[in-house]
Amino acid sequence: MSEFRPPKRGYLSVSVKHLRFVNEILTASISIENEDVEMIYLKVTQDHLLISCSMDTDEFYLSRYAYFFLSKYLWFYHEKSFEDYYYPDFFDADNGTSKYLKIASNSKGLTIKLKEPFRNLFKPSVSLPIIPLKNEARRNIFLEPQLSDSLENDTPVIAYCILDPLNLHERYNEEKELTLLIPFTATLNNDKRNFKSLLTYLNSKTISDDLELNSEQLNLNDICEEMWENSFYFQMKNHKDENYSRTFSERKKLQFDLWKSALPQLVYERFMCYQWIYGLRYIKGKPTKKDICFCQVASDIPQLKFLLIDKGEYYFLDLKFMVNGKLSNFAPIFNMFFFAAAEKKPMKFYLLGSIADAEVVSYFSKISFRLPVLKKHYDTHLEPFVQQIVQTYGLKKR
């Protein structure tokens, strides 16, 4: 603790400049009003924030220079991450440099980034997904296809669109949306394969009796409606109704169960589309051609496969998946919850075997399906996680 505080009235001029970052230590200069410039030294460890300065600060006392440096860093936040300066064991102790970091100095201070091959390099204490000891995968359920070739060009047909919400701006899980399905109507071109025009999104209020649907499609539309009612957007609009008050965990379980119910019919649907969205509030009226693309949903259950690749001073822990004995890389820019897609066929979607699989894929999708780790961190921090992977999914070493 420190007894120093910013003045309640007036303005105190505090100038801070980050000078260098060597051997995990950030060196910065600080000037308070017209006083002499002093130096601040900061090191972030797994458990502590270490700070010192060229005046006064010792293990029992925080000087006013150190205090005002931290106050300037926090600005008006009550808390702020020091992740930008946490790189344990990333430096060569002999010369103070790092082969993993790109450190640039400019008029604004320092820019510290991991070099491209190491941009997701593992740091001790980071959160890792929970690997279940027992992973109960779903089973395939097959239905007889109910397709008709007698499609008139001017007769509306039903299509199904997978909506992939982008949740990058959402901070809290409870506010995040999950992948869902929505039907819409369209008319066809002469080839009866492509859309001539898109008509409207469908729900219980907009669906027409003139639309000829088989029993499986009627059931599928009910599932779509349940997925919509399970969304955070719908819950917010109906927050007074206790029937729609669910936690994110409850919504995930229900949504995955709904996808399992929908899958047997989706495999046979003639018109399947994909659309990424910024929020469900924009899903009104009708879709536009520029926003959707045709896709395919497969019935195969993908099996997650982990590879540990020895690169000398570090490892790569890679995640891939296997379908029908064929090993595939995940599509590089892919974060659609509940599903897997291969790099070579990014518009062919496989529903994952379990929610646990979905959580693992979601984590690795944020790091391009590759976790680099220094060997010294592997032995002391990552090995228990890898042992859980071995028990549940298996591990191949290269």
pLDDT band for position 189 (cuts 50, 70, 90): confident
- Whole-angstrom distance, CA of residue 320 vs CA of residue 330: 6
Confidence label for 143 from pLDDT (cuts 50, 70 and 90): low
DSSP state of 378: I
Over residues 196-216, the pLDDT tens digits come to 888 889 875 556 556 778 888
Mean pLDDT, rounded, of the chain = 86
pLDDT in tens, 154-169: 678 899 999 998 765 5
Segment 120-129 mean pLDDT: 89
Q: Is the pLDDT of residue 225 over 60?
A: yes
Range scoring the smallest mean pLDDT among 19-33, 137-151, 209-223, 331-345? 137-151
Q: What is the pLDDT of residue 168?
A: 55
CA distance 308 to 393: 13
Question: What is residue 368's predicted lDDT score, i.e. its pLDDT?
Answer: 92
* Predicted confidence band of residue 7 (pLDDT cuts 50, 70, 90): low
Find out whether 88 and 123 touch, Cβ atoms under 8 Å. yes
Mean pLDDT of 252-272: 94
Beta bridge partners, 348, equal 296
Pairing relation of β-strands 303-310 and 395-397? parallel
CB 216 within 8 A of CB 156: no
Measured distance CA(371)–CA(114) in Å, rounded = 13
The answer, yes or no, to whether residue 130 has pLDDT greater than 80, is yes
Instruction: Flag whether pLDDT at 88 surpasses 80.
Output: yes
In this prediction, residue 78 carries a pLDDT of: 65
Q: What is the pLDDT of residue 5?
A: 60
Return the SS3 of 58: strand
* CB neighbour burial string for 174-200, b if at least 16 within 10 angstroms, e if fewer: eebbbbbbbbbbbbbeeeeeebeebbb
pLDDT, tens only, 303-349: 999 999 999 999 999 999 999 999 999 998 888 999 999 999 999 99
Whole-number pLDDT of residue 1: 47
Q: Does 147 have pLDDT greater than 90?
A: no
Which has the closest alpha carbon to 178: 266, 268, 250? 250
Better-scored residue on pLDDT, 94 or 271: 271
What does the pLDDT average to over 34-49? 90
Distance (Å, whole) CA 187 – CA 185: 7
Measured in whole angstroms, the distance separating CA 185 from the mean position of its chain's CA atoms is 31
Task: Render pLDDT for 379-397 as a digit per residue (tens, 0 to 9).
Answer: 889 999 999 999 999 999 9
Q: Which residue has the tokens 């391009």?
A: 368
Q: Return the pLDDT at 60.
A: 76
Cα–Cα distance, 3 to 58 (Å, whole number): 15
Task: Give the mean pLDDT of 24-28.
Answer: 93
Q: What is the percentage of the chain residues whose pLDDT exceeds 90?
A: 47
Per-residue pLDDT, averaged over 113-142, amounts to 82
Question: What is the end-to-end Cα distance of the chain in Å, rounded?
Answer: 50
Long-range contacts of 277-281 (CB under 8 A, 24+ apart): 277/163, 277/164, 277/165, 277/166, 278/165, 278/166, 279/165, 279/177, 279/233, 280/163, 280/165, 280/177, 280/228, 280/231, 280/233, 280/234, 281/233
